[in-house]
Amino acid sequence: MKKKLPNNKKKWINEIIEAYDDAVDTIPFGEAIGKNITEYNLFHLAPSICLKFRGIKPTKNNLDIASEAALCSIIATRDNEAGIIDNSFLSFSLSYLASHYGLNLVEFESITELMNYIEENIGEIEKKINKKLR
């Protein structure tokens, strides 16, 4: 399922919500594989969903690159801005966007700008997520 890279904030937000929804859909399957998947650890799935949405082969190398960028961003953010990690959508968004950065699909400045926008508008975004997930 190859998607075109979003070219504005609204399209990015819509795509991240769609990716988050894709991750949420995995929660019921956690028990079948012996994992307790919760909303708070969905950020671990963001690199795989990034590859899926961009139509990039999920090779070990590609997944390692995306995952390393995502986890480094999560760790750095946790050390500097703990609140982001406490919100499942914010942590997923950061992981998803950082995966794109690790794969050289977006610039660092774009991630920073998008994350600032998401943080500033999280209330409205969460309303949209809740409508979609009901």
| Domain ranges for the chain | 9-133
Amino acid at 22: D
**H helix or E strand, kind and range, residue 70:** helix 60-80
> In tens digits, what is the pLDDT along the chain, a chain of 134 residues?
788 999 999 999 999 999 999 999 988 887 777 788 888 889 999 999 999 999 999 999 999 999 999 999 988 887 676 666 788 999 999 999 999 999 999 999 999 999 999 999 999 998 888 876 65
- List, for residues 75-85, the tens digit of each pLDDT value: 888 767 666 67
- List, for residues 100-114, the tens digit of each pLDDT value: 999 999 999 999 999
Amino acid at 32: A
